[in-house]
Amino acid sequence: MQAVPFQRVVLLGLEAGLDGSSDHVVLVAEPSQGAHLLIFHGRGLVIQRSFPLPALDADASETLFIEISRLLQFYKQKHRKAAFEVLHVLGLAELDPALAQRLQTGLRLGVRIASPEVWGLLQQGLLREGARRDGLNLLPKEILDAARRRVFRMAVWGAAGLMLLLLTLAGGFMVLQERVFREQANQAEALLAQREEAQAREDEAIRIRLPFLRTRAAEVRQKEAIERLGRLGQVLFETPAGLQLDRVEVMEVAGGGGTRFTVKGVALSEGPFSVGPLATYLRRVEACPGVVLQPLQEVQVSDRVDEATGNLAQRAVTRFTLEGRLP
């Protein structure tokens, strides 16, 4: 059973005089109004009974004895190990001696006058209750509600102020970040402009130097071509004994295709048939660096006859046409 504020204050007011047992029975008497019987187990309220109490006389003593005995009997039926030694009385200066004797002999229950006045003990209980973390608050409900609303408003305003502060800090942080990003963007643009300017200067320098480079490259190519043609001419016109050249043609191939040449001549021999001078000439030409020879064309082998006398003037005369190219 949950103790109401009155019962909690009563228990706290009695705690100073309670013995070491865990079960306590308390009588709160208000003559001509009523009485309350309370049974506590530790700090918890177990059972309570309220009944009317007339003026203190023999009938009132009988009523008290009957109510106390019934309540204890009812409680002990469910809790057989429960034991009560003292009846704590609140609100009476003294208890009828006959009633106290009956309680002692019939119920084995001593009597302790906790406080002759109810309000004095309740004040002590209120002081102890107020010192507890979950103590009672006896202020009117309107005041408590107003206090709660005030606390709620303060919490709301505090949260709003905190949100405003956070928003202000966030705004300041965003402004700072924007400034930093703007500075970084300006630096990047300046660096890009410097790179573009440097690239433009390089392009201008290349544009100015390009004609010179082209002329220089053309001169180099011309020099190399002259050297190649010189070597080729030296090889082509350096003939072995027994070989005569009739015609030598050298021409440049359009589009940078190199040099083509055509050689026509006669290879002479003495005695038996022989192509020795022609073979020697072919080996010399082929040994020239870069020369690529084509297969021999129009090769004719015949004897030469003297036109005046009609006699054989030269045996095994070889007429040939040689083509090739120099890249």
pLDDT at 309: 62
* Measured CA angle at 97 (ends 95, 100), to 5 deg: 70
The CATH number given to whatever domain includes residue 107 is 3.30.420.40
The Cα–Cα gap between 281 and 236 comes to 8
Torsion of CA 170, 172, 178, 183, to 10 degrees: -140
Asked which of 77, 107, 138 is the last residue of a domain, the reply is 138
The CATH number given to whatever domain includes residue 282 is 3.30.980
- Residue 167: which pLDDT band, with cuts at 50, 70 and 90? very high
Mean pLDDT, range 6-22, rounded to an integer:
61
In a domain, residue 183? The reply is no
Residue 172 carries which side chain, given as an amino acid letter?
A: G
The Cα–Cα gap between 127 and 145 comes to 23
- Residue 16: which pLDDT band, with cuts at 50, 70 and 90? low
Domain encompassing residue 90: 5-138
Q: How many domains does the chain have?
A: 2
Lowest mean pLDDT among 131-140, 169-178, 273-282: 131-140
SS3 113: strand
pTM comes to 0.38
In a domain, residue 243? The reply is yes
pLDDT at 48: 79
In a domain, residue 315? The reply is yes
**Model pLDDT for residues 220-259, shown as the tens digit of each residue:** 877 877 777 788 788 888 888 878 888 888 887 776 677 8
Asked which of 85, 108, 138 is the last residue of a domain, the reply is 138
In a domain, residue 185? The reply is no
| Count of beta carbons in the 10 Å neighbourhood of residue 214 | 10
